[in-house]
């Protein structure tokens, strides 16, 4: 789906972000709004325990400076036209999606006025963040279901259309913690034009309007670039046989590193140091 160039920021979190110690990622979310005391809309659609989830995030985000945290408890398609909710989504400095089931987000919000308000908020320069299911739903195609700790297989992977905020990628979360390289490889193999991005727990990518992302948090982001694939048997193999995929390019990026989604090139700390405003990069023998 083609759309006007996004002007906002996406913060895509691999789940289980730290809520007790440094709170690095949630602080990054608040900071990205550009305000010390932003208004936050908290979308609880993914979870079956919306009130509980809202309490947790209201507490923390308020502690971190949020002026107001408005829970948006949309749990059915009927709720999506509620004018109060739409107003809040349109006016909030940042929108945060809690975790749960990404299929709840897409099946309840997809194509509604609320969805439209969220897209417009993003295009107008606001910050949209999501954790776990709230991360998966960001892309046009999302992983809905797949086995953890398994070789790549067609039969165990289910995908569905996501919320379409980020084009050309497919996100997976809880990545190394749940052993999800197999399912992300199986998601990329059908069409290597899509970039696979696996985000660890307590780790996030911050995507700017030029489609550069940088990594924050305690884990890593694993990028699977299938453009170099020489061979895959995905179109011929039986559903329950494991996939063959050769010559996939892989990048592992911890905090401070980044990636350009368009050009598919990593951004290292050295690249920053080479910046005229950066510090000298002194090498030391040891």
Residues annotated as catalytic are: 132, 150, 174
Vertex 30, ends 26 and 36: CA angle to 5°?
140
Buried-state track 151-169, b at ≥16 Cβ within 10 A, e below 16: ebbbebbebbebbbbbeeb
Tokens of 180: 């999800």
| Gap between the Cα atoms of 111 and 115, Å rounded | 6
Binding of its own copies at residue 212 (CB under 8 A)? no
Interacting positions 221-250 with its own copies (CB under 8 A): 224, 228, 230-231, 233, 241-250
Among 34, 111, 125, 179, the residue binding its own copies under the rule CB under 8 A is: 179
Look at phi and psi of residue 65 and say left if phi exceeds 0, alpha if psi is from -120 to 50, else beta: left
Query: Does 204 help bind its own copies (rule: CB under 8 A)?
Result: no
Residue from 170, 199, 184, 161 nearest 243 by CA: 184
Q: Which residues contact 227 (CB under 8 A, 6 or more apart)?
A: 192, 193, 249, 264
- Residue 168 CB, shortest distance to its own copies, in Å, is 19
- Which has the closest alpha carbon to 192: 160, 224, 237? 224
Q: Which is nearer to its own copies, 97 or 257 (CB)?
A: 257
Q: How far is the CB of 68 from its own copies (least distance, A)?
A: 35
What's the distance, CA 193 to chain centroid? 18
- The answer to whether the beta carbons of residues 32 and 9 sit under 8 Å apart is yes
Of 10, 178, 192, 194, which one interacts with its own copies (CB under 8 A)?
A: 178
Residue among 43 and 223 whose Cβ is closer to its own copies: 223
* Residue 168: both structure tokens together: 């050309």
The nearest distance, CB 184 to its own copies, in angstroms, is 11
253 belongs to the binding site for its own copies (CB under 8 A): yes
* 3-state SS assignment for residue 201: coil
Quick check: 13 binds its own copies (CB under 8 A)?
A: no
Of the listed pieces 30-38, 47-55, 87-95, 266-274, which binds its own copies according to CB under 8 A?
266-274
- How many chain residues bind its own copies (CB under 8 A)? 41
Q: Which is nearer to its own copies, 145 or 148 (CB)?
A: 148
| Nearest distance from C-beta of residue 224 to its own copies, angstroms | 8
Binding status of residue 100 toward its own copies by CB under 8 A: no
Which positions from 136 through 175 interact with its own copies, judged by CB under 8 A?
148-152
Q: Of 123, 56, 113, 126, which Cα lies nearest the Cα of 85?
A: 113
Among 37, 270, 273, 274, binds its own copies (CB under 8 A): 270
| Nearest residue (CB) to its own copies, 59 versus 270 | 270
Spatial separation of the C-alpha atoms in residues 130 and 135, rounded to whole Å: 5
Q: Which residues here bind its own copies, judged by CB under 8 A?
A: 148-152, 176-179, 181-182, 185, 200, 218-220, 224, 228, 230-231, 233, 241-255, 257, 266, 268-270
């Amino acid at each position: 789906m083609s759309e006007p160039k996004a002007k906002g920021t996406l913060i895509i979190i691999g789940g289980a972000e730290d809520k007790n110690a440094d709170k690095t990622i949630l602080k990054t979310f608040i900071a990205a709004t550009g305000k010390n005391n932003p208004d936050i809309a908290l979308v609880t659609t993914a979870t079956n325990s919306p009130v509980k989830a809202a309490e947790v995030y209201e507490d923390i985000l308020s502690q971190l400076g949020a002026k107001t945290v408005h829970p948006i408890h949309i749990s059915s398609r009927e709720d999506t036209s509620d004018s109060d909710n739409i107003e809040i989504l349109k006016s909030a400095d940042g929108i945060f999606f809690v975790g749960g089931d990404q299929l709840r987000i897409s099946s309840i919000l997809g194509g509604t006025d609320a969805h439209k308000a969220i897209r417009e908020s993003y295009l107008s320069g606001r910050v949209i963040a999501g954790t776990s299911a709230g991360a998966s739903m960001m892309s046009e195609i999302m992983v809905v279901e797949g086995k953890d700790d398994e070789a790549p297989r067609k039969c165990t992977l289910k995908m569905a259309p996501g919320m379409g905020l980020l084009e050309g990628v497919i996100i997976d979360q809880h990545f190394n913690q749940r052993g999800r390289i197999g399912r992300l490889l199986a998601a990329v193999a059908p069409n290597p034009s899509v970039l696979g991005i696996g985000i660890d727990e307590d780790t996030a990518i911050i995507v700017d309007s030029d489609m550069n992302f940088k990594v924050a948090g305690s884990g890593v982001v694993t990028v699977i670039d299938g453009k170099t694939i020489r061979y895959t048997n995905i179109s011929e193999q039986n559903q329950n046989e494991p996939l063959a995929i050769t010559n996939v390019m892989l990048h592992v990026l911890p905090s401070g590193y980044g990636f350009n989604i368009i050009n598919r090139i990593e951004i290292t700390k050295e690249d920053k140091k080479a910046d005229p405003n950066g510090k000298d990069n002194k090498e030391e023998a040891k």
